[in-house]
Structure 1
Amino acid sequence: MRNWMTPIMYTLMGLAVFYVGFQLITNTSSFLTSIVIMIGFAVLVYGAIYFLFLRNRGFGGGGNKNEMKKYKQAVKQSKQKYKQPTPTIKKSNIAKTAVKSSPLGRKPRKRSSASHLRVIEGHKNKDKNRASF
């Protein structure tokens, strides 16, 4: 089906280009005014469609307000989870002793080894003596 449509489309485009060139040479003033009127009409139609339908859709042209709320909530949670520790201001020694909690109240923090790292066994006893070559 596409094979017979391609020559027809090229023929129609060629005739359109020929007609535009012919109108530009023979009747320039009316051609230019009709082009300006068509562009103005297209801008008015696009503006009306934009203000009636597309403006209230949200950011990015897609998605609704509920999805934007969910996205903003996820961003907020992510920032809270991965926020950087704030730098502390140095205080005097008296203030430090009063603020410190007892060592018994602290829970020991469990260290977990990184899952992507592994120990490679090797000959650790052999040291290279770089001075004797």
Structure 2
Amino acid sequence: MRNWMTPIIYTLFALALLYVGIQLFTNTSSFLSSIAMMIGIAVLVYGAIYFLFLRNRGFGGGGNRTEMKKYKQAVKQSKQKYKQPAPTIKKSSVAKPKVKPSPLGKKTRKRSSAPHLRVIEGNKDKHKNRATF
């Protein structure tokens, strides 16, 4: 089926290009105005379709609003967790002596578990004894 359709399609494309070329050289002003009109109509149709259907779909064309809210919240938490302090710019060229904090005043920081990690409880009694194999 494709073998006999291919030459017909190429012929139609060639005739269309020939017609466009003839119109461009014989009736340039109406050709350019019709091209501009077609582009304008295409932009209007695309804009209408976008604002009516595609705008409310969410991120990447899929998902719904609740998933998008959860994603934005996760991004916000990640940025807060991994944000780095802004580098400070020295205003004076004179170096100030650094004051070392005393080791007694140093507070030990308690390790907290990461919020994105959790322990999955399992049945720990049923471990296989691999020495018997």
TM range (shorter): 0.5 to 0.7
CA RMSD across the alignment: 3.0
Shift of the alpha carbon at 1:57?
1.2
Segments of 5+ residues of structure 1 without an aligned counterpart are 101-133
Shift of the alpha carbon at 1:75?
5.2
Aligned length: 93
Identical columns (%): 73
* Larger gyration radius, structure 1 or structure 2: 1
Shift of the alpha carbon at 1:62?
2.8
1:49 aligns with 2:49: yes
* Structure 1 segment 90-101 matched on structure 2, within 5 A: 91-96=101-106, 99=107
- Structure 1 stretches of 4+ with a deviation exceeding 6 A read none
Segments of 5+ residues of structure 2 without an aligned counterpart are 86-99, 109-133
Residue in 2 aligned with 1:34?
34
Structure 2 distance, partners of 1:42, 1:75, is: 37
Residue in 2 aligned with 1:18?
18
* Structure 1 segment 50-129 matched on structure 2, within 5 A: 50-72=50-72, 79=78, 91-96=101-106, 99=107
Q: Secondary structure of the equivalent of 2:105?
A: helix
Letter of the 1:92 counterpart:
S
| The 10-residue stretch of structure 1 (67-76 or 54-63) with the greater mean CA deviation from structure 2 | 67-76
Structure 1 distance, partners of 2:69, 2:2, is: 45
Instruction: Please report the TM-score for the alignment, with normalisation by the length of structure 1.
Output: 0.55
Instruction: Please report the TM-score for the alignment, with normalisation by the length of structure 2.
Output: 0.55
Shift of the alpha carbon at 1:83?
5.6
1:51-91 CA distance string (max 9 Å, x none): 111111112233322332444456577x49x969x9xxx74
